Amino acid sequence: MVQSDGEHQSNSDADPLGQWLTWAKPWIVALSAAAFEALGTETRGALHAQVTAEKLVSAALQAREWQFGNPGPVQVIADEFAGIFNTFTALADEYVVVAEFTSDDDPPDLDGRLERAVLALYEAEHAAEHGEDFFRKVYINEQGEQ
């Protein structure tokens, strides 16, 4: 289980987006690690799908649970990460089905979709990290409208 370090939460007012990204990092790393482990496995079939499913389910559900409690200071970023976490959750569910109902001879290819989910996760993280000035302005505008 991934633990997010909450000791810096008192400084969240100074840089809420930067702080949120710091808190999100363990979940991004856990999802990526589970996905890369699945993609790096040479063996395919029901056993591969079962192992992949267990790791992805765990990482995806923990990430979603964390995000429900920490939606983020900028709605557009929160929505993007929620969509990506949902994609990982859906893929994990599909790996569960494959593990239970598919023979080793003819498993569907979910790896391409998993690769695209990892890419989307990294792109969202990169955009949030490198677009911090833009997103800070959005955050300030959102706060001003409330």
Q: 15: closest CA among 73, 66, 81, 69?
A: 73
What letter does residue 11 receive in the DSSP assignment? G
- Lowest mean pLDDT segment, chosen from 55-59, 108-112, 137-141: 137-141
pLDDT at 10: 44
Alpha carbon distance 77, 83 (integer Å): 10
Each residue's pLDDT tens digit, 91-103: 888 878 877 776 6
97: which DSSP letter?
H
CB 91 within 8 A of CB 56: yes
* Rounded CA separation 94/84 (Å): 15
Residues 6+ apart with CB under 8 A from 98: 46, 49, 53, 107, 108, 110
Judged against a pLDDT cut of 50, whether residue 14 lies above it is answered with: yes
Q: Please state, rounded to an integer, the average pLDDT across all residues of the chain.
A: 77
- The pLDDT tens digits for 29-63 are 999 988 888 777 666 666 777 777 888 888 988 99
pTM of the predicted structure, to 2 decimals:
0.71
